[in-house]
Amino acid sequence: MKILNLPKFNKELINLPFRIDDNKVYVNYFDEGVQAGFPSPAEDFKEIPLSLDEKYLQNPQATYLIKVAGNSMYPTLQIGDILVVKSDQEFGDSDIGIVSVNQTDFTVKRFDKIKKKLLADNSEFPNIELNEEDTLICLGVVKQLIRDL
């Protein structure tokens, strides 16, 4: 009998569990956006309610949050960023995913499907070559990030 132990998260990622509740949390959202150049008059802003769980957690059973703890994806992802990861999405070309190769610890990398590589956005970190005999496990695709300013 062969027992496979799932890899763990490496030092680059911190798992952030969240609780699903019947109550929804709404914040004020300004649908018109904000001007980065010459500001528009304040009366142009129309406040509408936005449910963060409806926007980012459409399928809560297939969604999890994880915190970036390393620099291999800098500047795209930075230490402290919270990633919204969807486990029901297919890992496609140029997607950023939570991955393990040959049962190594999970890390976050960009997928180059054509060149068969996992790419680090930070040039100080090596890319990972994928061979035909390699086993790639993808726990999910990063769909959004939350960054404190």
Evaluate whether 98 touches 68 at the Cβ level (below 8 Å). Answer: no
109 in catalytic set: yes
Of these residues, 2, 24, 40, 72, which one is catalytic? 72
Of these residues, 8, 24, 55, 109, which one is catalytic? 109
Q: Taking phi first (over 0 means left), then psi (-120 to 50 degrees means alpha), and beta for anything else, what does residue 116 get?
A: left
Compute the Cα dihedral for 121, 71, 103, 15 and give only its sign.
Answer: negative
Residues near 81 by beta carbon (within 8 Å), at least 6 away in sequence:
67, 68, 145, 146, 147
The residues carrying an active-site annotation are: 72, 109
